[in-house]
Structure 1
Amino acid sequence: MWGINFSLVSLLLLLAVQQTSALNAVNCASTKGFSVVSSGKAAPIWVGSDDWPGVQRAASDFQSDIQQVTGTKPSLTNFTTTSKVSGTPIIVGTLGKSSLISQVVKNAKINVSAINGTWEAFWAGEVSNPLPGVSQAYVIIGADKRGSIFGLYTHSESFGVSPWWWWADVPIKTSKSLFASGCQHGTPSVKYRGFFLNDEQPALQNWAQEKFNNNFTSTPFNHLFYTKIFELLLRMKGNYLWPAQWSSSFAVDDPQNQFLADYYGVVMGTSHEEPMARSTPNEWNEFGSGPWDFTTNAANITAFWKEGVERAQPYETLYTVGMRGLGDLPLTNGENINLLENIISIQRGLLTDANPGVNITKIPQMWCLYQEVQGFYQDGMTVPDDITLLWTDDTWGNIRRYPLANETSRSGGAGVYYHVDLVGPPRDYKWIQSSQIPKIFEQLNLAIVRNATNIWILNVGDLKPYERDTEFFITYGYNHTIYNTTNLDASFVIPWAQREFGLSASKSATVAEIVTNFTRINAARKPELWNSTTWSLTNYREAEWMLNQYNAIAAVSTTIYNSLDKNTQPAFFQLIHHPVQASANLAAIYIQAGYNNLRASQARLSTNNLADEVQTLFEHDFDFETEYHTMLDGKWDHMMDQTHVGYFYWQQPMTNSMPLISRVQTKKQALPGPMRIAVEGSQGAWPGDNQNDCSQGYNCPNPTIVLDNFTPAGSRFVEIGAGGPNTFSWTAGSNVTWLKLNATKGTITSSNPETRLLLTVDWSKVTGAQYANLQINATAKGQAPMNQPITFIANNTVVPSSFKGFVEGDGGISIEAAHASRNTAANGVQWTNIPGYGRTLSALTPLPADGNGNTGFAAGSGPVLEYDFFNFNTLANGTLNVTTYVSPSFNAYGDDRRLAFAISIDSGSPQVQEFMPLTPPASSPAGWSGNDGFVANSIVSVNTQHTNISPGSHTLKVYAMEPAVVIQKLVINTGNVRYAYLGPPESIQV
């Protein structure tokens, strides 16, 4: 089917992880080297008294980290020239700021040319004679304030302190001794890296209200809350924050917020719709005068912005410029390019006035091209070159546009605003993890190629439960060179699991599989979009497979959770176990509700068993929430308040509501008698009438079952069920020896209301298509005997022994894109597999994305994937329909570089598929939105017809034309491809 073998993948990942180092590829610890702590003695920590306050504060964290790891607390000294010198110290400081570091560099003759004058770089190592009277020292030198801070936190992480030690209760790894080995890191790949707390009701705000509310601030988002955020951000090597906006005003609610952000070393910004360091709508509603309309109220709005600039001026701030409507809406009156150009000009004047003597180009500014704003820019709006253009995704993880070739050299550069959480159409998704790290990597890799690396900001909603996604986003921005398409698990997820849970490499590889599998299911369709018919209840056993898949993932997670000590279980529960268990339970609610409704239409007594199960599962959903809220004495109470069951439209429901279920009367027998027969692949039931038995709905023929020897499932089934309270005995048999039944008799009762009869074929006894008559008989006390005939057709198809490839089975040929017969590069570009990306297995995209001279390929000239297949049938007139499953993507390289690939069979002319229509930049293509649109389904189905195809051996070819095309799967319809959300399972390959 669609599944993954846990043990095989574990082995592959284990082999890969043995090649990796620390999570961010910088490991400052060793088993020998400079003694940080040994024999109960700790090296003292010296920090220059004239260094940045944030560096001195981070040094205090470093001191505490060492104590928590070893139980020994080092001394921490604000060192001056008059300080007493003793011991073998750790000396920390910033080039150009710390006089202590200046002296150390000079005395020890340290070559700092690699980091001097750079952004956020650091160097650490052991040196001789750094100060008079000091023969040896370990020195951590930052190129700037955050370089020093990152150097300290990199050592802390190497020593065993996770950035999530508080926010996810990750245990600190203890050791009686610590040694440092020296390490360094250059300028980060992305200049500003951070996240956006957004849509904070109901979870984050309710939690913060309980934990941080006091009598001194009007909201819980005060400095007690934000200093926890600042520390986490810096420990992850992030530096940029958009604060919560809808229920608070960062700079107003607590006067210490802005000061402490700067003190810690965090660059503050405001969201895409909050200009000039002021909160909207909250601050405007409280302090503004008149309408939020620049065409009629310019003076008041300008004065409002002026106060924001002057308030933020003392602190490190990245200013959002431009303007949107109040409450994250488009501008309404006077919405035009000239207006926005004037607005930005006025805003830059305010910045100049507040920073006398400072060149405006040196003041960090950002204009977010969100929704309609992107249209203004692409329609010709003039934007000063030094303003960073922040390109956005579609709020579903698909970046709408990247800088074009003529935009990549702007002095202000470009960036990306990305989402792993959303309030908005077609459906909110803010309950549980539902993004895939491989997809985040693929989208951000394109941003790197297009030089959109000045700002990366991630919408994380409530922050929890998106811890892993958040850290990957920031870590990738810190050093993108660590990662490629083949090592995302080995270089990130597995080291992450080892760091967070102290697991072995093999168990960490299993955790990586859990992450891959459950995020694949949740990303294929967000849980908020699930319903009782999301997965087919009748075709390809899809719903059944989905239920089994999630149960298997949950079982593996449970095994690991139970193996952990009590100190580690809370972290594993938050980061892995809860999202897996809660998601599996929700999937079961919907799937069993679907089966319940199907059974009711089939007049089966098991309808009631399933109704009871759905009710139990629905109540159990709250138990997972309660477990989350009560662990650790209620530390995370309210953090899972988000409703997620029973959406009626795009917005969150006001409470969870169970999907509709049906019941049948327990004392009434179905009209045809006590026995109900359902056959695989049909919603109907026999005997009697059912609208799904045939098109007429009554007087329908007996059911027919067809099985060929290349059907992936390898069998068919018949379900024998109770049609009421009466017990009956059944027997089953056929008129041929080649049809095998897993049982030939049994008893159905009200407490055991159904059984599954599995039908297989001894293919050695079948030639061509052969027919069998299967008879199922029932006898019940006091009733006439029942008999239900079923026609079974076995079709033993044959391929030449010389053929290698995929074979038609069950009416079609389904191929995972990664399983090409041949993959041929062109001009250094090749279709490249991204494991774990997509709905079923993986995905292929042409890489490098800037290959072939950063131009596309003509149809048929680019890299080509070839899939050999053998078909026995065609549609009318030798036609085959091919559906290519492509990831949702925009024409992100501009309207003259439409997403495109070409497809053909054999020597047929390649058919060019420009599958994403051209649309205005402020809108989405037709088919994008809605509950059955591209983003809801996480796929674009590209359909092509190929004619004059005879039965036999053929080759399907897929040619690359443009980068950013991501292909997941190909399905060839030879006559009986049925609907399934994920498409048919992969065909048999010989």
Structure 2
Amino acid sequence: MKIYENLSTPGHRAITPAAPVIVDSAYRPSERDPHAERTWRQVTRAVQDLRQDIAMTTGSIDWHTVQQLFADDPQAQADRLAAADPSATPALIRLDSPESALRQFGGDAPIDRAIIVGTIGRSAIIDTITANGRLDESEQIADRQEAFALKEVDDPIPGVAHAIVIAGSDARGTIYGIYALSERIGISPWFWWGDVPVDVRPIIDANYTHACVELGPAVPYRGFFINDEDWSMVRWNRKKFPNPQIAPEVNYYRHVFELLLRLRGNLLWPAMHPESVAFNTATGEDGVPVNAREAERYGVIMGTHHCEILLRNNEGEWDQWYAEHHEQYHMRGASVRESYDFTLNREALLAYWRERLETNKSCECSLTVGIRGVHDGRFNVAELDRYPGDTTEEKEVAFMKDVIAAQRALIEEVYGPAEAARIPQVLITYKEMNDVYNHGLSRVLEQPEYRNITLMWPDDDYGFLRQVPTVAEAAREGGAGVYYHNSYVGRPTNNTWLNSSQLPLMTEQMRRAWNTGMRRQWVINVGDIKLSDMSTEYFLRLGWNPDACTAESIGADFVRMFARRDWGADKATAAELADCFDEFSQLIAIRQPGFNLASLNPEGVAAGIDLEEFAFNPSSFGDEAQRWLDRCAALTSRVRRVADALPDARRTAFFEQWYYAVLSQSDTAAEYVNFWEAWAAFHDGRIGDARRYIALSKAARDAIIARNDELDAINDGKWAGFIKYDTHLGDDHDLIEDDQYPNVEMDDGDSDGVEDTIGGITATSNDSARPAGVPAEPVGAAPSESAPLGFVATDGIVACEAEHPTRIIPGMDGSYWAPIANEGQHGDTMKAFPDRGISRPGEGATLEYQVWFERSGTVRGTINRLPTFNEGVEDDGTPRGCRLAVHVNGDEPIVLAGNNAWGESRNRHSLTTVWERNIIRGYEPLQFEATVHAGWNTLAIERVDASVVIDRIVLAAKPLPRSFYGPDESRRISVSYR
């Protein structure tokens, strides 16, 4: 058995499976790396993974067994390797020095081929190979963070004739290089989490005659946050792992740490909800938390989210700490949770934080500063009036400055000035903290003593960044970062079940973050990890190299890569799956699967604003509800055909990683659309129709339940109980209860004369009729590709997809509009660039749409804007906004202002707030009126604020029916034909 990619490559020599892995016996501490011993331990641990990965590809270790392991540890892995066939399993050789190789191996050249692993500047072996001129790539990566190189080298050290050399710039760089080789030989990063199989085969790709060099990540700190795990992962954890009383426990986190590193991440925010036992609860004999020590052994940096200050998990630690210390510190407060108040119990909180810093001092960490409530709530300030200021806002700024100053002093006391300066410190401006920042904390953090704090801005919990830094903020030593959501529990509705993030939106928003200087720390909330494989990996790839990831490349590059690596797709099948993924992105832009429950109104169709505002209207534009269902069904059918073409062994991974979500999204759509149709029929007195719609809805609901049973059973019940549609406090997240349907007798004999199968109403195409006076194109002639196209009104309505302007005019100020692929509900969007700055009137880039109306008159226009935010101010203090200017035929521009600030629009007790309504429908309608004349008219949309994204434009000369989906795009013809 050989490991090779192309044996005909000059200089390539295949590495046999038994070729040993050679490492140094130790790294010596140096000024460059005072933690060299830790670096060595982290690298040698990953080397054991590499040995096992090779053994699984050769078949000497059964990969099925490893994939089914829940509890695993270094000794168990070592025992497996020792028991494996030595002719198909790499040995591990530790060298005291390169010169000792001959003495240790014996003979002139007893080792023909090997794999050599080490860290530049710490590994004597790697440094010797470099000094001998055989690894010039070391110079490219030596002083970089987390960089690595892989290269085939002849005569690397005495006693070895040929080797693949893996060299890293530091511990994690070396580890990433190790896992790069593992992935090359067929081990997916999702091997355990996604049940991706291993192809046991006689020939395996691994040709590095041309060196593979990765210069390290663009974003230094990249990771994910395990959240909202109470109602799925924790319960599953208790059943599957050996320590149910401390779930999630260390064996679970070993799988998490390995996944993170295989994806080239380095930062983890651990699970922290009430049902989870706090990450740092279990401690070793030395008092160091077991999980933190294990993270250090892997090379993972531990951080915490916005309300877990200085590594403290309040949900799991504060109550007990309070019980043990409240008398000692004479703590005040009306309750245990209200005692978590810096204005009342300053010394107690500092002691609480100090204790955790001391226990975790030896482990790599990122420290969250500031303060919020015990859980996800506003900070307690019972005695805020102690702080200076004329307003509450000014006092809160003074309070937060005091908190951060005290925390910084504490960090320096525990770690010492030099080490404290190296530790990442982060202020996460989540929810009310963003208001405090904008009310004046920003000026505090401009002061020199605070400039190394990273400013981490969040999205709105649904994928839209609230604020980006000014040029000055981005230039601070600590820089800026992003906390992004792939999963969320809260208003307006939970989004946890399918983790159906829209990757084009993620791309656009994270590239916006990168473009504006948010380049220090990126963290994504992945819920409980499962089902978020693609979005998690894609996010971390964005952090590694933002320039390599664009909305256009999601399907062209990422999905195709994923499909070939994990699902065994051939080139053509991978391309087909990428096209399907583009359609899936648009369908979830129209309606997230988890958002249907937000509109559920058990009182019936006519009773509430939820239905009137958000539900599809069966009587609008050819039964838009059925049109949406038809799109969902068409995608499902297409994906099912593609799934049948995948290798049998790969279908489980495909089902878990994406197919389950596609099918469940389609069934959820059918469940809810038919639910609404049933209520509409019931209120119209069409009882037979109502019964049939109820049956269709319940059939879809039953399919969801059956699919979950299927998921529970696969791979010997590995994930049984993990994935639930009842994802929040026992509420059914996406299932309709029987008592919510119309109360009709289900008499099978009463059909009311309706066909057994409910179909959609046939819509009349805009192309089917041409109003009198519309310029006709020559019969059989298509518009020239170079000719500008305009839109022709049908029945007084023009609908334009934003990505189809007649003309794009660059701005005098350098601004421009550009398409974002598949970000919209029906296709691409158009975005106003650059991502900073305000355009003065008449200077911004302009989109022009030629629109033809049969008659003159007043039209009502609606521009569907993605509900992005743009909080804060520009560097000159000018308030930002989400504005654009519209004019028709050169009339005075009308400035349309979209909802700009999350905090000002949010109300937890109503679905009628601007932000919540925008999130549910996926866009914000900006409305205006204009005068048009008969014939061609020029609609111009001019950039005012940065990063405004528009999806479509509708102009109507008459009132439109209530509609969620809206009319189809109008017919386009060459403007030159007029």
The TM tier, using the shorter chain, reads: 0.7 to 0.9
Query: Is 2:257 the counterpart of 1:230?
Result: yes
User: Take 2:725 and 2:757, find their aligned partners in 1: how far apart are those partners?
Assistant: 37
Find the counterpart in structure 2 of residue 358 from structure 1: 418
CA–CA separation in structure 1 for the residues paired with 2:591 and 2:698: 23
- Give the corresponding residue for 2:740: 660
Match of 1:565 among 597, 622, 647: 647
Q: CA deviation at 1:861?
A: 2.4
Q: CA deviation at 1:504?
A: 1.7
| Alpha-carbon shift at residue 929 of structure 1 (Å) | 4.1
Cα deviation for residue 485 of structure 1 reads 3.9
The Cα RMSD (Å) is: 3.1
Tell me the CA shift for residue 310 of structure 1. Answer: 0.5
| Separation of aligned partners in 2, 1:598 and 1:337 | 53
CA deviation profile, 1:435-476 (whole Å, cap 9, x unmatched): 211110111111111211110000111111111111111011
Partners of 2:902 and 2:479 in 1: CA distance = 25
**Equivalent residue for 2:279?**
250
Q: What is the deviation of 1:945?
A: 1.1
Q: How big is the shift at 1:950?
A: 1.8
Aligned-partner residue type, residue 346 of structure 2? A
Q: CA deviation at 1:488?
A: 2.3
Determine helix, strand or coil for the equivalent of 1:87.
Answer: strand
Picking from 196, 212, 220, the partner of 2:247 is: 220
Deviations 1:140-185 (A, max 9, x none): 1100000100111112212221100110011224442343222011
Corresponding residue of 1:9:
none
The secondary structure found in structure 1 opposite 2:345 is helix
The TM-score with structure 2 as length reference comes to: 0.81
The answer to whether the aligner puts 1:846 opposite 2:832 as a matched pair is yes
Report if aligned partners of 1:438, 1:837 keep a CA contact under 8 Å in 2: yes
- The amino acid that maps onto 2:416 is P
**C-alpha offsets along residues 105-148 of structure 1, whole Å, 9 cap, x if unaligned?**
22345332221121101122123443223343321110000010
Query: Which whole-Å deviations, capped at 9, do the CAs of 1:241-284 have from their partners, x for residues lacking one?
Result: 00000122111136321111011010001111111111112111
Give the conservation status (yes or no) of the 8 Å contact 1:537–1:543.
yes
Residues 865-900 of structure 1, C-alpha deviations (whole Å, 9 max, x = no match): 1111111246xxx21111111111112462623222
Q: Distance in 2 between matches of 1:516 and 1:282?
A: 41
CA separation of 1:579 and 1:41: change in aligned 2, threshold 3 A: closer
Q: Does 1:205 align with 2:234?
A: yes
State the secondary structure of the residue aligned to 2:649. Answer: coil
Distance 1:167 1:432 in 2: 15
**Whole-angstrom distance in 2 between the partners of 1:483 and 1:898:** 27
| Structure 2 CA distance for partners of 1:615 and 1:360, relative to 1, 3 Å | closer
Q: Does the CA contact (< 8 Å) of 1:366 and 1:388 recur in 2?
A: yes
Aligned counterparts, 1:698-713, within 5 A: none
Q: Which of 755, 775, 783 is equivalent to 1:799?
A: 775
Q: For residues 266 and 760 of structure 1, do their structure 2 counterparts lie closer, same or farther at Cα, with a shift above 3 Å needed?
A: closer
Aligned ranges for residues 342-357 of structure 1 at < 5 Å? 342-356=402-416
1:348-747 correspondence runs (5 A)? 348-356=408-416, 358=418, 360-381=420-441, 382-383=444-445, 384-530=450-596, 531=599, 534-540=615-621, 541-604=623-686, 605-643=688-726, 657-658=737-738, 660-662=740-742, 664=744
From 25, 41, 46, the equivalent of 1:58 is 46
Alignment counterpart, residue 307 of structure 1, candidates 355, 370, 391 = 355
Would the alpha carbon gap of residues 354 and 910 (structure 1) be closer, same or farther in structure 2, given more than 3 Å must change? same
Instruction: Kindly indicate whether the alpha-carbon contact (under 8 Å) linking 1:529 and 1:931 is maintained by their aligned counterparts in 2.
Output: no
- Kindly indicate whether residue 126 of structure 2 is the aligned counterpart of residue 101 of structure 1: yes
Tell me which residue corresponds to 1:123: 149
> Residue 354 and residue 35 in structure 1: after superposition, are their counterparts in 2 closer, same or farther (change >3 A)?
farther
**Which one has a bigger Cα radius of gyration?**
1
Question: Are the counterparts in 2 of residues 898 and 914 from structure 1 also a CA contact under 8 Å?
Answer: yes
Q: Deviations over 1:202-229 (max 9, x none)?
A: 1111221111142xx6322111000000
Between the aligned partners of 2:206 and 2:762, the Cα distance in structure 1 is: 62
- Equivalent residues in 2 for 1:781-930 (5 A)? 798-799=774-775, 801=777, 804-826=789-811, 828-849=814-835, 855-873=837-855, 878-892=857-871, 894=873, 896-917=879-900, 929=913
Partners of 1:80 and 1:565 lie apart in 2 by 46
1:856–1:760 Cα change, 3 Å: closer
| Rounded Cα–Cα distance in structure 1 between residues aligned with 2:803 and 2:319 | 54
Deviations 1:581-617 (A, max 9, x none): 1111111111112222222233332322222222332
TM-score, normalised relative to structure 1: 0.81
Q: Residue 725 and residue 374 in structure 1: after superposition, are their counterparts in 2 closer, same or farther (change >3 A)?
A: closer
Q: Is the 8 A contact 1:403 1:452 kept in 2?
A: yes
Q: Distance in 1 between matches of 2:766 and 2:356?
A: 79
Corresponding pairs, count: 847
Q: Aligned partner of 1:836: which letter? A: N
2:280 aligned counterpart, secondary structure: helix
Counterpart AA for 1:49:
S
Inter-partner Cα distance in structure 1 for 2:237 and 2:747: 53
In 1, the alpha carbon distance for the partners of 2:757 and 2:722 equals: 41
The equivalent residue for 1:21 is: none
Q: 8 Å contact 2:811–2:844 — kept in the other structure?
A: yes
**One-letter amino acid matched to 1:257:** N
- Equivalent residues of 1:393, 1:419 under 8 A apart: yes
- Structure 1 residues 54-92: Cα deviation after superposition (integer angstroms, max 9, x where no partner): 111111111222222344322222222344342222211
Q: Give the structure 1 partner of residue 135 of structure 2.
A: 110
**Amino acid in the other structure paired with 1:252:** T
Contact 2:551 2:822 in 1 (8 A): no
Q: How far apart are residue 93 of structure 1 and its match?
A: 0.6
Matched to 1:942, the amino acid is: L
Question: Relative to structure 1, is the Cα distance of residues 974 and 763 closer, same or farther in structure 2, using a 3 angstrom cutoff?
Answer: closer
Supply the AA of the counterpart residue of 2:308: E
Q: Which has the higher helix share?
A: 2
Aligned-partner SS, 1:56: helix
The 1:906/1:101 distance shift into structure 2, 3 A limit, reads: same
The equivalent residue for 2:392 is none
Distance 1:758 1:927, change over 3 A: closer
Q: Does 1:935 align with 2:919?
A: yes
Specify whether residues 420 and 969 from structure 1 end up closer, same or farther in structure 2 by C-alpha distance, changes over 3 A only. Answer: same
Give, in angstroms, the shift of residue 546 of structure 1. 0.9
Given residue 725 of structure 2, which amino acid in structure 1 is its aligned partner? Q
CA spacing shift, 1:970–1:761, aligned 2, 3 Å: closer
Question: What is residue 283 of structure 1 aligned with on the other side?
Answer: 317
CA distance in 2, matches of 1:120, 1:928: 47
Letter in 2 for 1:638: G
Q: Secondary structure at the match of 1:969?
A: strand
Q: Determine if contact 1:372/1:922 at 8 Å carries over to the other structure.
A: no
With over 3 angstroms needed to count, the CA separation of the structure-2 counterparts of 1:89 and 1:798, relative to structure 1, is same
Q: Aligned partners of 1:667 and 1:167: how far apart in 2?
A: 47
- SS in structure 1 of the partner of residue 955 of structure 2: strand
Say if 1:36 and 1:292 are closer, same or farther in 2 by CA, change over 3 A.
farther
More displaced 10-residue stretch of structure 1: 806-815 or 594-603: 594-603
Shift of 1:421: 0.6
Give 2:212's match in structure 1, choosing from 163, 183, 202. Answer: 183
Distance 1:230 1:760, change over 3 A: closer
Question: In the alignment, what sits opposite 1:144?
Answer: 170
Of residues 973-982 and 588-597 in structure 1, the stretch that sits farther from structure 2 once superposed is 973-982
SS in 2 for 1:352: helix
Who is 1:712 aligned against? none
Using the TM superposition, name which of 913-922 and 123-132 deviates more: 913-922
Distance in 1, Cα, partners of 2:967 & 2:936: 21
Provide closer, same or farther for how the CA distance between residues 551 and 758 of structure 1 changes in structure 2, counting only shifts above 3 A: closer
Q: Residue 468 of structure 2 contacts residue 870 of structure 2 at CA under 8 Å; is this kept in 1?
A: no
